[in-house]
Amino acid sequence: MKQFTYSDAMQRLPDQFFAKLVNKLNKHLEKGHDALNLGQGNPDQPTPEHIVKSLQTAAENPVYHKYPPFQGFDFLKKAIVDYYKNEYDVDLDPATEIAILPGSKTGLVQLSQCFMNPGDVALMPDPGYPDYWSGVAIANGIMEPMPLLEENQFLPDYEAIDKETLKKAKLMFLNYPNNPTGAVADRDFFEKTIEVADRDDICVVHDFAYGAIGFDGKKPLSFMQVPGAKEVGIEIYTMSKTYNMAGWRVAFAVGNPSVIKALEDIQDHYFCSLFGALQEASATALTHSQEDVRELNNTYEKRRDLLVEGLEEAGYDVKPCKGSFFAWLKVPEGYTSEGFADALLEEVGLFVAPGIGFGEHGEGFVRIGLNNSDETLKDAVERFKRFAK
């Protein structure tokens, strides 16, 4: 069979971290071993019933059987305006400050194609979500890491970044509540971010995927709530985590009009927006009661407490995450993150994500997903205890 040569852009793409993780798990299971999957960030609860019913009803509407408007239906953009006003007291212009996305991952990858030329610099959280890297690789850009260190509450220290690097940077990716560390950002940090971005002409991309998941009575702060945020960047919000709609692939970007226009322009070439019934169901999710969201947040907080208390009893070094649905566990002395993850899988059937997969500064940790039932997490704690012995 003839083998065709891939483009340079394809060859620059990094290995897909999560695909490699799943392959490792599948090989373990194929050998007849059992395993608890704590390594992925896939919500385990169903989409709330009223959202599903909205989709079912809307799917019968013949209007939605035709091509949707390229940049999405106005009613969904209006719902996003209402959501940001109700949840964050942020005013948005639906015509210029909102872009509908087929999943947040798509927009995060496209942004580098919109703003980076070969050799341009993007500032990356390290550790951070690996798919940020993909868009930079396609654009033939350069990634400069921003270390997220425990002593800095897993926030970048802008004073530690070389001034020339900051001047060269076109994009800065941030993500709070953070994947994988579970850290959150405060107003002071976002104010510093805006100051740096304004001074050095950097476009800030805040990935707010876990925006609805905050613990200990503290609601995560939206970047858009801080004065000046719209001037220097955007925020990307996904329906996946807030409403257990991961398979629906609906997200949106809000903020700086020039960035929003770039996203809509590039998507005019890739897509013809989303199925109208998906958009109607998403509007239903955003504008109806948020009680399901509050209950989901409480569920994750209870799971966090269950897991952390059990791990601490077993002698592991783990801090309660402040947001997201991940625990960030220090590996025991003598292990690398990948070595510890492999040992857990082989010896006690626990599948976790090694920190090195999220960047150099993820070494020394593993990520554990809270998107599992109480029973599964209790079983996991017992297996961690067995491993510790």
Compute the mean pLDDT over every residue in the chain, rounded to the nearest whole number.
95
pLDDT (0 to 100) of residue 119 = 95
Topology of domain 8-46+291-388, CATH: Aspartate Aminotransferase, domain 1 (3.90.1150)
pLDDT (0 to 100) of residue 280 = 98
CA dist 218 to 43, 58, 184, 210, Å? 21, 36, 10, 13
Q: Is 158 a residue whose pLDDT tops 90?
A: yes
- pLDDT band for position 152 (cuts 50, 70, 90): very high
- pLDDT band for position 27 (cuts 50, 70, 90): confident
pLDDT in tens, 247-283: 999 999 999 999 999 999 999 999 889 999 999 999 9
CA dist 158 to 120, 266, 311, Å? 19, 31, 33
Question: Which of 3-17, 306-320, 328-342 shows the lowest mean pLDDT across its residues?
Answer: 3-17
Q: Is 16 a residue whose pLDDT tops 80?
A: no
pLDDT (0 to 100) of residue 32 = 77
Q: Is 23 a residue whose pLDDT tops 90?
A: no
pLDDT (0 to 100) of residue 95 = 97
- Express as a percent the part of the chain with pLDDT over 70: 100
* Cα 89 from Cα 186, distance rounded (Å): 17
- pLDDT band for position 352 (cuts 50, 70, 90): very high
Q: Cβ neighbours of residue 227 under 8 Å, at least 6 residues apart? A: 194
Q: Is 72 a residue whose pLDDT tops 90?
A: yes
Residues in the chain: 389
pLDDT (0 to 100) of residue 33 = 78
The phi-psi region of residue 293 (left if phi > 0; otherwise alpha if psi is between -120 and 50; otherwise beta) is alpha
pLDDT (0 to 100) of residue 13 = 87
* Cα 193 from Cα 161, distance rounded (Å): 13
Which regions of the chain does DSSP assign to beta strands (E)? Answer: 36-37, 98-101, 121-126, 142-147, 169-174, 203-207, 233-238, 251-255, 326-330, 350-351, 353-354, 365-369
What are the structure tokens assigned to 323, written together? 């947001």
Q: Is 143 a residue whose pLDDT tops 90?
A: yes
Within its chain, how far is the Cα of 258 from the centroid?
23
Q: Is 240 a residue whose pLDDT tops 90?
A: yes
- pLDDT band for position 357 (cuts 50, 70, 90): very high
Residue 170 near residue 115, CB atoms below 8 Å: yes
pTM recorded for the entire structure: 0.95
pLDDT in tens, 85-128: 999 999 999 999 999 999 999 999 999 999 999 999 999 999 99
pLDDT (0 to 100) of residue 260 = 98
* Cα 376 from Cα 316, distance rounded (Å): 19
Q: Cβ neighbours of residue 140 under 8 Å, at least 6 residues apart? A: 8, 9, 12, 116, 117, 118, 119
- pLDDT band for position 216 (cuts 50, 70, 90): very high
pLDDT in tens, 314-351: 999 999 999 999 999 999 999 999 999 999 999 999 99
* Domain spans in the chain, listed from the N-terminal domain onward: 8-46+291-388, 49-287
- Express as a percent the part of the chain with pLDDT over 90: 90
Residue 234 near residue 84, CB atoms below 8 Å: no
- Residue with token string 């993500």: 175
Domain range 49-287, CATH class: alpha beta
